[in-house]
Amino acid sequence: MRKKIVAGNWKMNKSWPEAMELTKSLSLNSSSFPADVQVIVSPPALYLQGVRSELPETLAIAAQNCSQHESGAYTGEISAGMLKSMGVAYCIIGHSERRQYYGETNEVIREKIDACLKNGVTPIFCCGEILSERNSGEHFNTVSTQVKQALFHLSEEQLALVVIAYEPVWAIGTGVTASNEQAEEMHAFIRSIVAQHYSETIANDISILYGGSVNAANAKELFACPNVDGGLVGGASLKAADFTTIIQAAQ
């Protein structure tokens, strides 16, 4: 059975006191979070340990990125093994901002997925088309290529450990959300290519999150789509009240 998941990506936001204030508010609100929704908080790497220590055990933390390398002379990088050793259960991989600003290719993303799985960290793999690809009808090809190149070398057992996040780039941070129909259509498509390459069972069991301007007002309808298993939330995860409403909408 696939999990419902709501993950908050704080990106490069908040001072340490602000991060602690948000963490404490989420801890206070956590008694109202539905028991069947896995809540994940993804603060900047520097705050991971501090945020972890303030959150109840039922909430998980995610890094926003990791290196594809195991260890060594990679100044400024953090390995998946380091994340695991600090109690970080998840890592966002292949976010469109990493692809766009740091040149991450599908090949590098594939290596990062492998590094996570090798070290027992669950990757939250992001895919999604840019606006011109959507407008020219290329969006299924783009997403299919991203998914296949990053994931389809994995064994069934490995793929079962991955969380997929469909994040149309034109919807990220823009206030323009994919319609429920657009989200459902792409999630069903991703599930269908997983089913073709692996099996219906694997496809049915994998969690596919939607990301792109999810907010307290639109979350319930998006999460009600049959193939949408929750969300990866950026801006709206920076406010405890809004993020709490979004988590509750995933029930």
Smallest distance from ligand PEP to CB 58, Å: 22
Q: Which one from 95, 97, 133, 139 is the annotated catalytic residue?
A: 95
Closest CA to 70 of 125, 127, 12, 121: 121
Smallest distance from ligand PEP to CB 241, Å: 16
Q: Which two tokens stand for residue 57?
A: 């055990």
Identify which of residues 133 and 198 has a Cβ nearer to ligand PEP in the complex. 133
Smallest distance from ligand PEP to CB 11, Å: 6
Identify which of residues 51 and 127 has a Cβ nearer to ligand PEP in the complex. 127
Smallest distance from ligand PEP to CB 35, Å: 24
133 classed as catalytic: no
Q: Which one from 97, 129, 133, 167 is the annotated catalytic residue?
A: 167
Q: Name the closest residue to ligand PEP (Cβ).
A: 234
167 classed as catalytic: yes
Q: Which residues bind ligand PEP (CB under 6 A)?
A: 9, 167, 172-173, 211-214, 232-236
Identify which of residues 53 and 101 has a Cβ nearer to ligand PEP in the complex. 101
Identify which of residues 129 and 198 has a Cβ nearer to ligand PEP in the complex. 129
Q: What residues are labeled active site?
A: 95, 167
